[in-house]
Structures are given as C-alpha cells and as structure tokens.
C-alpha cells in the first residue's frame, strides 16, 4: 500500500459540490492499494501511521503522533499513487489493485485507524471525482510504501 501523509491545520473533501468529509488539525492521507496488497499490509500501515511522530512537542521537535495530539484523519482514496511513469508520457496504473479489492482495503484501513485510537476519521467517496482542500502545516509530507518494508528497506 502507498500513502502520502500530510500534517494539516485542516482538510476537506467534496463530491459534486457537496462536502463529504472535513477535519481540523491532523492528517490528510492519500491512500492507494496496490495489486497484491493484503489486509495485513493495511494493518501494518495503519499502526505505523497512527504512531508516526510528526507533530511538534513543547520544544518544537517532531515527537508527537496524531494519537498524542488528539488529531483527526481525512482519508482519501488515490489510485494515481500507483502511477508508473517509466515509459512514455501517459502514466500507467496497472499496478493499482482492482477496484473492488482496493475499496475493501480502503474501508478496512479506515476501520483500522479507528481501532488504533484515532477518534475522528473522515473519508472521501471511493472512486468519485473529488475536490480536496488541504491546508498543510509545515508543510510536513511523508510518503509510506509497504513494499519498501518487505524489501527490507527502512520506511
């Protein structure tokens, strides 16, 4: 699974001009299920994301997690994170999980965030054409990819 995690002051998502999710301080997470991804990878990513220390402590050091600060998460499905741009000028998305599997993993991931203690998890609408407003804080942006963990690289 691939995720782009952004520390935000606030974030919102709408579909057809209607707000479907909105948070204050916390994390905006763009999530892509890749072909072959499993619920176990979703679990590992959710656990790591919840404990990721990217919020400032009283000394200005990134020492606090979204759980520590009582932050929220806005989770957005983002299949374009699977883009392969090695050949030509049009990205290929063949490495993304098929839609049904991707949606199941997306919903499972949202549930895992809640199970891990995130009090407020908002979501977009899977597969919809969404408008996402992100007010970055820092900016702090982290990319996580469970494939790098299975290859033994640090994440």
Domain annotation for the chain: domains and CATH numbers: 2-146 (3.50.80.10)
Q: Which residues pair with 34 in a beta bridge?
A: 96
Chain centroid, CA 109 distance in Å? 9
d(CA 155, CA 144): 6
β-pair type (72-77, 121-123): parallel
Nearest to 42 by CA among 85, 96, 97, 2: 2
Of 79, 109, 123, 146, which residue is the catalytic one? 79
Burial of 152 (0-12, 13-18, 19+ CB in 10 A): exposed
Average pLDDT over every residue of 124-143? 96
Catalytic site includes residue 80: yes
pLDDT digits over 69-118, tens only?
999 999 999 999 999 999 999 999 999 999 999 999 999 999 999 999 99
Of 78, 109, 123, 146, which residue is the catalytic one? 78
- Higher confidence at residue 153 or residue 119? 119
Catalytic site includes residue 79: yes
Q: Give the single-character DSSP code of 57.
A: -
Half-sphere exposure of 37 (CA within 13 A, CB side): 34
Residue the block writes with tokens 């974030």: 11
What pTM, to 2 d.p., does this model score? 0.93
Catalytic site includes residue 109: no
Asked if 55 and 64 count as a contact pair (C-beta separation under 8 A), the reply is: yes
């Amino acid at each position: 699974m691939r995720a782009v995690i952004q520390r935000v002051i606030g974030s919102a998502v709408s579909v057809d001009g209607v707000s479907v999710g909105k948070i204050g301080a916390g994390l905006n997470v763009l999530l892509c299920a890749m072909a072959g991804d499993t619920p176990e990878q979703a679990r590992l990513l959710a656990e790591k994301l919840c404990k990721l220390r990217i919020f400032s402590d009283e000394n200005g050091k990134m020492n606090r997690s979204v759980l520590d600060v009582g932050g929220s998460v806005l989770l957005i499905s983002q299949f374009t994170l699977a883009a392969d741009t090695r050949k030509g000028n049009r990205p290929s998305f063949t490495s993304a999980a098929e839609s049904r599997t991707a949606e199941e993993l997306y919903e499972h991931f949202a549930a895992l965030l809640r199970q891990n203690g995130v009090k407020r998890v908002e979501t977009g609408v899977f597969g919809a054409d969404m408008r996402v407003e992100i007010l970055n804080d820092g900016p702090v942006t982290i990319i996580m990819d469970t494939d790098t963990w299975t290859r033994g690289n640090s994440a």
